Amino acid sequence: MLARMQRESIDFMSFFLMAVVALLLPWSLAYRFYYRLAGRPWLFRQRVCKAHANASKLLGIHDDHEWCRRHRLILMLDVIDFWISFLQPWRVRHLVQQDGEWPDDRPLVIVGTHWGPAFMLLRSLYNHAIQPIYVLRKNPSSVFRGERIRQLYVSCRRLHMRRMFPGKRYQPGGFPRPLLRALQMNESILVLADVPASSKRGFRTISLYDSNARIDPGMFDLFVSRQAHFATYRLEFDFSSGQRLLSIQNIDRPGDSEDYWLTLDAFIAGTLQSDSAQWNLWQVADSYFVDLRSTPG
């Protein structure tokens, strides 16, 4: 009971109280506080420790403490940026520096990764009147057993997304009718390309961190066959300035699926390898890299 109360108290601090500083202070002042806070190992301890353990097996990390601080900051920003978007959306334009414009071509497939503090990407799409279909799996209640605070936080995030993009959620599995309808109606689809492969659907192997990573091929062959337009984005964080940088790049319409995959592979590897600490999925890296599955912890 005591251990659960302690965990719930830390979750309340991490998912709710922590963002108050950003909501009350100018970002330039709030970031100084968060940079110092990111050096505290108790914050997101389990996720950061697992991420660092996996990354250390593949990377040559020269400063373990600084890598953990930067990775912890990215996890913190995911929470902070959600609350800013939810409660103070007018501030987003001042917090994100954008390079490039969202294309007007439709149907449009917007491709990103689980890299950087990317929640404000959703607010950027909303501000530009883009209402994409997005993939969001349903979490079974057992995932939150004994973690009511985290469950409440996740519910708040999903409520916010439903309000921004009503009726646009797609839960994978079965026939992809919503995706086909979106392509036929010249709408937009938001996908994250660095999803770990599922044994049920096969995989595509890409070179990442000098190792072989297996990713889910998703529905990209379908998108290419329906002659969709493509744009990639990356939302990175500048640790020196505290600025979020959103880069948007149009992709020439591929001649075939293999042309597209070559471009996509280069985009995934180039993004994730540009700053390893900003990848949000290091804690589940053994789902990607065969090398990690056979490496002792």
Which tokens in the block code for residue 168?
């646009």
Which of the residue ranges 21-35, 160-174, 276-290 has the most confident prediction, judged by mean pLDDT?
21-35
Say which range, 34-38, 74-78, 287-291, has the weakest mean pLDDT. 287-291
CA dihedral defined by 233, 124, 169, 220, rounded to 10 degrees?
-20
Question: Per residue in 199-233, pLDDT tens?
Answer: 656 788 888 988 888 888 888 888 888 889 999 99
Q: What is the pTM of this model?
A: 0.92
For the chain, the average pLDDT equals: 89
Q: How far apart are CA 235 and CA 122, in angstroms?
A: 11
Examine the pLDDT at 297 and tell me if it is beyond 60.
Answer: no
| Interacting residues of 168 by C-beta distance below 8 A, sequence separation 6+ | 131, 132, 133, 134
pLDDT of residue 225: 85
User: For residue 293, what pLDDT is reported?
Assistant: 58
Rounded-to-10 torsion of CA 15, 84, 31, 52: 40
The whole domain housing 60 covers: 2-293
Q: How confident is the model at residue 250 (pLDDT cuts 50, 70, 90)?
A: very high
What count of other Cβ atoms lies within 10 Å of the Cβ of residue 247?
15
Count structural domains, the chain: 1
Mean pLDDT of 6-11: 88
Q: What is the pLDDT of residues 258-294, one digit of tens each?
A: 888 889 999 999 999 999 999 999 999 888 886 665 5
Report the C-alpha gap between 29 and 95 in whole angstroms: 13
pLDDT of residue 286: 86
Pairing, β 243-251 against β 96-99? parallel
